[in-house]
Structure formats: C-alpha cells, structure tokens
C-alpha cells in the first residue's frame, strides 16, 4: 500500500521559513502529479502547489513567489520550501499524489505562523 508521510511542520514567526517534506513508500517516479494542499482553520482544503513528473510546477496565487515545490525522484520525496510566511498560511498541510488513476494523501502536518 502506498503511503505518504509528511514532516517539517511547526510554529514559526511571520516572515520566517519552513521546509516540508513528503516521503513516499514507493517510487514517486510513477506518480503523474504530486503536490501540497492545505486546510486553514474553519475553511475548506485548498491547493498550494503541484508538480508533474514532466513539466512545470503550478502554484496558488496566494503563495507565488514565496513557496517553491520540488521533487527528488531518487529519494522518493517531495518538498515545499515556504519563505516569507504569513499568519494566513497557518493550516494543516497535506501531501498529495496521483498514480495510475488513484489519489493518495498523507496524514497532514500542522504549520502555525504566529508571533
């Protein structure tokens, strides 16, 4: 069974940085798309960024220029580098992957931006 496990969340001050990691239990080379979604408190889940196996990443307008998604197929890991964090970035961040028509989700990691 495919598992996605996130790490790297935590508490950070506004303007700070965090890097999230998503480790897959199988080769991510077979994933057509991988990405990150987030669910702010009291709100619906929303797209943060996706990265295809071939092609360019896609970002939500709210994070463009601040967040960078990358994938390391050799390490079976997807990363989300988050810079210039704002309080409105506070959310549970979940890793996502689509492979062979199936979707997979991680359990989520909490990111809190607060002074």
Tens digits of per-residue pLDDT, 34-81? 999 999 999 999 999 999 998 899 999 999 999 999 999 899 999 999
> Which 3 state secondary structure label does DSSP give 31?
coil
Residue 1: which pLDDT band, with cuts at 50, 70 and 90?
Answer: confident
User: What pLDDT digit, counting tens, does each position of 24-36 carry?
Assistant: 999 998 899 999 9
Task: Give the pLDDT confidence score for residue 30 in this predicted structure.
Answer: 87
Closest C-alpha among 43, 44, 50 to residue 22: 50
Tell which residue, 79, 64, 65, 72, has the closest CA to residue 19: 79
């Amino acid at each position: 069974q495919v598992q996605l496990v996130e790490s790297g969340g935590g508490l950070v001050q506004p303007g700070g940085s965090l890097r999230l990691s998503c480790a897959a239990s199988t080769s991510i080379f077979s994933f057509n798309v991988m990405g990150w979604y987030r669910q702010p408190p009291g709100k619906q889940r929303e797209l943060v960024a996706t990265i295809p196996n071939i092609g360019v990443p896609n970002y939500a307008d709210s994070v463009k220029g601040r967040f960078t998604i990358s994938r390391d197929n050799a390490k079976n890991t997807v990363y989300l580098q988050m810079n210039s964090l704002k309080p409105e970035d506070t959310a549970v961040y979940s890793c996502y992957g689509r492979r062979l028509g199936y979707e997979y989700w991680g359990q989520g990691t909490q990111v809190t931006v607060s002074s």
